[in-house]
Amino acid sequence: MDDSILETIGSPLVEVDAPEGATIAAKLESRNPGGSAKDRPALWMIETAEEEGTLTPGDTIVEPTSGNTGIGIAMVGAAKGYDVRIVMPASKSPERRSIMNAYGADLELVEGDISDAKDRADEIEADEDAVQLRQFDNEANPRSHYETTGPEILEQIGDRTVDALVAGVGTGGTITGIGRRLRETFPEMEVVAVEPDDSAVLSGEEPTGDSFQGMGPGFISPNLDTDLVDSVEVCSAAAAEAECRRLAREEGIFVGQSSGASNLAAKRVAERLVDVGVDDPLVITVYWDSGERYVSTGMFDAE
Ligand SMILES: Cc1ncc(COP(=O)(O)O)c(C=O)c1O
């Protein structure tokens, strides 16, 4: 028996369909207690602030988020007894709002994108003496993946070698933390970032849209270790959503937009590695959350 819901953080690594001659394995992060990869940084940022004495019982936590970090913080806040205020762009899915409400968080919606939510969270932090965890800058965000997701993957692959890590980028915490840990064991491993075609800042483009929930913040996050990244793959929301429908119907795996995009990119990278003669390359990718968080968007209704 676990002492707390917070001890149940962790997820399976599942082999998924791959181009012939390659293996792709996906970290199924919807299996965390709050339903996404962001439970890990939420817990680590909160516990680091507690250790440093910047967060003490009775404090209010405020955070700008595209949803999953807010849900993670709301879940950890509920388990630990903190009040939580979340600032989220109104464009993000209604499921996210309902889940934060269920965990007892106060939610403020803002027009615009994550940068507008960040500005509003700064105001609340200053006016109401709330503690902001700053997921885009806080080193406990990538460290949570370095200390938990990375070691889990190393244990789950057994004696296999990882040839590439392919993952979407929001704050950059996931790809940076997992990438740093896996590269210690596999120095030759490629790290491939995935970003939306309408917010391809890593590819040097000006952002023109905000079509993904959680991926592509429109700026290069300080928490992304750009030195770690070997190349960038770009994906449209339409292609990612079609891949999510395929994953659900053909593989029984129900995931959200950024997972579909990362899976498409993982298949491209796997194919390239086979083409250059790597024998049965192993590509690791991440599925951040469940498709249940996107049902109201209608993305699973399309053919
Ligand atoms: C659905 C989803 N995908 C991808 C990401 C990107 O993860 P990271 O912020 O660790 O780069 C996030 C982050 O919030 C997310 O919510």
pLDDT in tens, 244-284: 999 999 999 999 999 999 999 999 999 999 999 999 999 99
Q: Which of 75, 174, 191, 294 to mutate to test the pocket of ligand 1 (most atoms within 8 A of CB)?
A: 174
Distance between CA atoms of 117 and 66, rounded to whole angstroms? 9
Tell me whether the CATH fold assigned to 5-31+145-297 matches the one assigned to 39-132.
yes
38 lines ligand 1 (CB under 6 A): yes
If pLDDT is split at 50, 70 and 90, which confidence band does 66 have?
A: confident
Secondary structure of 71-113 in HEC code, one letter for each residue = HHHHHHHHHHCCEEEEEEECCCCHHHHHHHHHCCCEEEEECCC
The percentage of the chain sitting over the pLDDT mark of 90, rounded to a whole number, equals 95
* 118 counts as catalytic: no
CA of 214 to the centre of ligand 1 (A): 4
The domain segmentation of the chain, as residue ranges, is 5-31+145-297, 39-132
**CATH architecture of the region 5-31+145-297:** 3-Layer(aba) Sandwich (3.40)
CA of 103 to the centre of ligand 1 (A): 20
- CB-based contacts of 3: which residues, under 8 Å, 6+ apart? none
CATH number for the region 39-132 comes to 3.40.50.1100
If pLDDT is split at 50, 70 and 90, which confidence band does 93 have?
A: confident
Return the SS3 of 254: coil
Q: What confidence tens digit (pLDDT) does each residue in 103-128 have?
A: 999 999 999 988 999 999 999 999 99
Mean confidence (pLDDT) of the chain: 96
The residue type of 71 is: I
pLDDT at residue number 274? 98
Higher pLDDT, 92 or 232: 232
- Atom of ligand 1 at shortest distance to CA of 67? 16
pLDDT at residue number 303? 65
